[in-house]
Amino acid sequence: MSFVSVLPFADTFAYWWRELDGDPRRIRFMTVKTLEVSAFLGNRMRGHSKAPETAQPLLGHASQRPPNTVPIDPVVVVVVPVYCRSDRDARSVEALLGGLGLQSSRCHVLLVDDGSPRWRAPAVEVIRLDRNLGPAAARNRGVERALEFGADVVAFIDSDCIPAPDWVANIIPAFHTERRAHAISGATWSLDRTALGRYQERNGTLNGRRLRGEDRLLYGPTCNLALCGELARCLRFDESFKIAAAEDIDYCFRANQQGWSIYHAESVVVQHDYGYDELAPVGRVRRLWSQFRRYAEGERLLLRKHPDYHQAFAGSTEISLPSRTDV
């Protein structure tokens, strides 16, 4: 996600105005950016200092951990937190499982049902929680089971995403190519063919942020994130994050602080279903607004826990996806 209240809002608008110079969609993008920023108004930080050139003083200069030891033919366990509240949610899970069933490389799929009020038991391994604890807790239960299963790689994907057929196959060489990587964050495209879906791609909403002057990431979203076994064994999600917002940023921020390294691999592709296609224009705007309001709620907890996070954010840049013309 792309939090904005950690920077002065004028700087945010000025940055994107420069970035989109010459882009025919600049006005449309800035209009949506205004809506996004307004969702974070209540979170605005006081007393901002000048944005640092890098986040190195806060997060270190390089990996302080040994290289990953992902083998040539690793055991990959895919962990999916699931909370089904509607028939649409159930259809999304079915679509996800269909995509995982088409993977060109072997993987073990593990669903963690986070106390869903509606549930259709799929033909994969399922851990059922007695009550809704939130995605952070669900992923922790999934990681524990994945390690019991002997996972060399634990890959996270969300229930409203569909992986490319080579998603797992491309995670593995990403760890081999960059042995300094302890986590791999992929490229998350929008499944929706709307202008708002394209906004999310250009905004880098679900593609993490890269530390300035480095290949390492500040964070990668858990809708498309894989951990090597070493990191999975050492670090858990903070279960005080009860909603799907900022729990992945908190995890990655702590991982960076502890010397683990996160890298981006554009070949590790999933599509995220924002649900815009099925809505009228007004409904699409409401859905986008609700999404960023949820992110704002998660951000409040993140900034209470890490008041220096805004310094790291300012020392990083978004990972945008190439523009598409099919809208």
DSSP 256-280: HHTT--EEEEEEEEEEE--S-TTS-
What confidence category does residue 42 fall into, taking pLDDT thresholds of 50, 70 and 90? low
9-318 architecture in CATH?
Alpha-Beta Complex (3.90)
The mean pLDDT value of the chain amounts to 90
Q: What is the pLDDT of residues 268-279, one digit of tens each?
A: 999 999 999 999
Q: Which tens digits make up the pLDDT trace of 195-252?
A: 999 999 999 999 999 999 999 999 999 999 999 999 999 999 999 999 999 999 999 9
Distance of CA 71 to the CA centre of its chain: 25
Give me the DSSP letters along 167-212: HHHHHHHHHHH-TT-SEEEEEEEESS-SHHHHHHHHHTTTS-EEET
What local confidence, expressed as pLDDT, does residue 232 receive?
99
Over residues 259-264, mean pLDDT: 97
> 5 or 124: whose pLDDT is higher?
124
How far apart, in whole angstroms, are the C-alpha atoms of residue 183 and residue 229?
Answer: 10
Is 239 or 117 the better-scoring residue by pLDDT? 239
95: Cβ contacts below 8 Å, ≥ 6 apart: 162, 273
What pLDDT was estimated at residue 49?
A: 40
pLDDT at residue 134, rounded to an integer? 96
Q: Helices (H) and strands (E) in the chain — how many of each?
A: 11, 11
CA distance 37 to 282: 18
Residue identified by tokens 């050492």 is 234
d(CA 116, CA 325): 38
pLDDT tens digits, 163-204: 999 999 999 999 999 999 999 999 999 999 899 999 999 999
The amino acid at residue 176 is H
pLDDT in tens, 51-100: 445 555 567 656 689 999 999 999 999 999 999 989 899 999 999 999 99
Pick from 207, 208, 245, 292: which is nearest to 32 by CA?
A: 292
Q: Which amino acid, 248?
A: D
Per residue in 6-30, pLDDT tens?
A: 456 788 888 999 999 999 999 999 9
Report d(CA 31, CA 288) in Å as an integer.
Answer: 13
What is the DSSP pairing of strand 161-163 with strand 262-272? antiparallel
Quick one: which of 245, 100, 76 has its CA closest to 164? 100
User: CB-based contacts of 131: which residues, under 8 Å, 6+ apart?
Assistant: 115
Return phi, psi of residue 113, to 5°. Answer: -80, 115
Token pair recorded at residue 62:
């390089």
List pLDDT tens digits, range 134-172.
999 999 999 999 999 999 999 999 999 999 999 999 999
